[in-house]
Chain A
Amino acid sequence: MKFLNPVYLFGLFFITIPIIIHLIFRKHLKKIFFPSLLFLKTSESKRLRWLRLKEILTLITRCLMVGSLFLALAQPQYEGKIFVKNKLSAVYLVIDNSFSMHYGRNFENAIKYAEKIIDNFSPRSIFYVAPLCNQEDYNPFWTEKNTARNQLKNIKLSFATGSIKPLYEKFLLENTNIPKEFIYIGDGQIINFSGIERLSDFYWIRIPVGSNIAIKNVLLKEPYVVPRENYGLTVTIKNYGTKPFHTKVELVAGSFYREQETTIPAEQDLNIFFSLPLYIRNGIIKIEPDSLPKDNQYYFSKSLLEKIKVLIVGDSKYIKTALSPTPEIKTPFEIDNTTNIKKIDLRPYNIIIINGIEEITDFEFLKLQNFLSQPKAGLILFLGPSIGHQLRNWVFSYAKLEEWLNLEGYINIKWIDTDYRPFSLFKENAGLKGIKIFKIWKLKPKSITLMKLDNNLPFLINQDNIMIFPTIFNETYTDIVYNPNFIPLLHSIIYGLLNKNIDNEYQIEEVNNKFKSRITKPGFYTIDGDTIGVNINPLESNLSTITQQMAQNLGVKIIDPNSMSGSTDLTNLFLLLVLCAFVFEILLLLF
């Protein structure tokens, strides 16, 4: 017998209270001297015997009531065998194959325990063997012992996380002629039990868990500033534990090695930044020590800089400088500029920037439409004060131009949509809001607005692969060209139009020609002898398991896998005893 709240056992001392009251009452009982007890004794000897018995029974009842109450509060658990040999049942056997079961030999042990459980039941029992994750790959069904045992062998560890809820709901709907039981073999992570309020006939074969540190994210950041010599890599580590965790983060890329030691506060994230030279294309990040190393060993790979061909139509003074300051500095952009696109083949270009031209011809319009139909092609349109009929009609599809505003002073950028992925780098960046706009079109957008000025004037309109600014980027119209955010803004718009993320997530692609395409599917991959986890749900590394108290509240019976014994909660039994004692005392008072 053990107790979940043993502190309440001190309450058993209160048993002395009824005893003391009994003694005090007895001591203070009115004493009457009487000539002879002869007639009293003989009169009602039976009655007296009953009174004495009643007195003792009352005392015992009160002691029992107090004792049982405190025992119930202590939540006693009786340890004993749960599964009787040759028990006839319909058993729903769920094997936890989620990522957290990678710890030690947890998964292998889970399979072993499952076999043991299957053997223990009667030959007439039926089994429904299901993995917790990736059930669609297994197609479970009700079957007899031997097939169930074979099904166990097919279950493989998963990279994913799983939920008991859908399985349990299915279990509840099962109609079996024999009593049914739900047996879950796993480490009992809280996430596995999410959404469940109450369970019945539910047994948890408890498998121990490891530590709870995980790499939550690895972020590569392209440099925005020139010259581009280094890029940044940020590793976000989550400590799910309740104590600070001291760890060493290692970055290995061939002969390049960096390490940082740090302490992650309890239940918090910590970002660790590495600055890497541009020539480092891939490598591995590890956290040591950890009981689940596979989720804390990430492969990162940075794509080769892809050349982006940009054509600037119109004024190219500031834009060209922003995209490619000097021929010596490597940038991904190849820039041409023109004033007329009539005679230029647009197909090789990825981005066309039209900066302040007044009009386009029908032919130019058709050429641009044809260009935009290409994959990886985008158009950035800067609108000047004078716009011809044809251009206005084209723009009308995206926004209605209302009036040109020659402001006496200026207005600022008020808002930028940082939920638009390329703009996420402007989160908490106040620099953009200092940009001044002097002259601008007042327009009514029909498409998505990504940036707004004061008075809610739209500043950047986006639809598909077209971006429209209602002004021209030069010093007459705005001082943005002098702002440090000008280059990142331009870069991020171009990357956005080409569906490229500036923040490359960790990914594996074309390493030594082993993979032909980028691997994004979550799972484990072996590269050069290392097992690498890709897109593993970091929650799986949260090894917070349901506590005994939580299990009790849910109605889960916890079973020790080695002895196959579990605790039976006796709280209700003792509460019942309290009630019985109370009723018995009332009956004693009546008689």
Chain B
Amino acid sequence: MKDKARYLDPEVLARLSNLDLKARLVVEGFLTGLHHSPYKGFSQEFTDYRPYISGDEIKCIDWKVYARRDRFYIKEYQEETNLRGYILLDKSGSMGYGKKITKLEYGKFLSACLAYLLFKQHDGVGIITFDTKINEFIPPSAKKINFTRVIDTIDKVTPGNETSLANVLFDLGQKIKRRGLVILISDLFDKPAEVLRSLKSFRARKHEIIVFQTIDPDEFTFPFTETALFQDMETNEYLVIEPKAIKSSYQKKFRAFLDYYQKGMLESRIDYKLINTAQNYDRALITYLQKRTKLL
């Protein structure tokens, strides 16, 4: 069990190549730590038989099998829900930043984990990748084939151009008609006011929203010391910067930027989670599960 739990560490996970496997390891490793299994239930779709054990409800016994085999068997059904999960993965240039693991890689793992979790819980899962515009859109479905497509799509994502998050969210608002769970994984490097406005419009359409803002540790600490040529990963614009001179001011501005989002999300009743890419995935997954519990 403990071996599986170690896959929650992004660095360890980065060494694995199969995204599906990664997601499976993360989720199962994560779930192992929980006290009850929430994903088994009842529905109309038969899945399997199992022998009756003491304590099972008698109404669950399949009497026809008893008649043929003279043994008690319990009939299991696949649970069915109405939840449609939309995972919005930002693949803009800025998401390509990171030393050990980039923000995009982290986002991809997180997306895969969430997709797997949704799939395992028989929720519909879809994926939308975007930078200045929507690149991929796979509508949510609980079918396995859809899940495979989702994982493949996530796997193929590479860093793109500039971010135009507000516009993308606006477009998506037009496309997603049915109410669902929208999970946004992004560094949110766009005009904060517009991004918040777009998210609010989603919220207004009764969507439930979880925002994971992925930030690299360097963006918090700004550990650079030597004068260097800093190049913007989205615009390719560059500046010669003396880090020592601007560090404190930068950190102040950056903190204010994060605080603005945090405050804005709170006011809009949007679940917001600031993710440091050096942290394990479990915090993000817990956030999701708490949200799901509220929804069901």
Which residues in A have some Cβ–Cβ distance to B below 8 Å? 26, 29-44, 47-48, 51-52, 55
CB within 8 Å for A36 and B232 given contacts A48-B239, A52-B240: yes
State how many angstroms separate the Cβ of B162 from the closest Cβ of chain A. 10
A40 in contact with B241 (CB, 8 Å): yes
Flag whether B242 is at the interface (Cβ < 8 A).
Answer: yes
CB distance from A45 to the nearest CB of B (A): 10
The smallest beta-carbon distance between A295 and chain B, in angstroms, is 74
Q: A32 and B230 in contact (CB under 8 A), knowing A39-B257, A43-B253?
A: yes
Cα distance A41–B254 in the bound complex, in angstroms: 12
A26 to B241, CA, bound (A): 12
Instruction: List the B residue with the shortest CB-CB distance to A43.
Output: B249
Can you list 9 A-B contacts (CB < 8 A)? Answer: A26-B240, A33-B231, A34-B231, A35-B103, A36-B94, A37-B235, A43-B249, A51-B241, A55-B240
* A30 and B229 contact, Cβ closer than 8 Å, known pairs A35-B219, A40-B246, A47-B246: yes
Q: Which residues of B contact A29 (CB under 8 A)?
A: 227-229, 240
Q: Which residues of the other chain, A, contact B224 by a CB distance below 8 angstroms? A: 32
**B250 neighbours in A (Cβ, 8 Å):** 39-40, 43-44
A31 CB to nearest B CB, Å: 5
Q: A34-B231, A35-B232 are in contact. List 5 more A-B contacts (CB 8 A).
A: A26-B240, A32-B231, A37-B239, A39-B253, A43-B250
Interface flags for B179-218 (1: CB within 8 Å of A; 0: not) read 0000000010100000000000000000000000000100
CB pair B232 A43 closer than 8 Å: no
Docked complex Cα distance between A274 and B122 (Å): 137
| Assembled-state Cα–Cα distance A35/B234 (Å) | 7
Task: Check if B253 sits within 8 Å of A47, measured CB to CB.
Answer: no
CA distance A52 to B239 in the complex (A): 10
Whole-angstrom CA separation of A81 from B227 in the bound complex? 52
B242 close to A36 (CB less than 8 A): no
A35-B216, A36-B189 are contacts. A43–B231 as well, Cβ < 8 Å?
no
Q: Which 3 A-B pairs have the closest CB atoms?
A: A35-B94, A44-B246, A43-B249
B254 touches A39 (CB 8 A): yes
**Closest residue of chain A to B247, judged by CB?**
A43
A43 CA to B219 CA, complexed, in Å: 14
Q: How far is the CB of B64 from chain A (nearest CB, A)?
A: 62
Q: How far is the CB of A54 from chain B (nearest CB, A)?
A: 10
Chain A min CB distance to B144 (Å): 36
Task: Determine if B233 is an interface residue (Cβ-Cβ < 8 Å).
Answer: yes
B72 interface residue (CB < 8 Å to A):
no
Q: Is B57 an interface residue (CB 8 A)?
A: no
B97 interface residue per 8 A CB criterion: yes
Please tell me if the beta carbons of B189 and A35 are within 8 angstroms of each other in the complex.
Answer: yes
Shortest distance from the beta carbon of B22 to any chain A beta carbon, whole Å:
24
* Residues of chain A contacted by B231 (CB below 8 angstroms): 31-34
Find chain B residues with CB under 8 A from A38 CB. 189
Q: Across the two chains, which residue of chain A brings its CB closest to B255?
A: A39
Beyond A35-B187, A52-B240, is A40–B94 a contact (Cβ under 8 Å)? no
In the complex, which of the residues A35, A41, A55 contacts B239, with contact meaning CB atoms closer than 8 Å?
A41
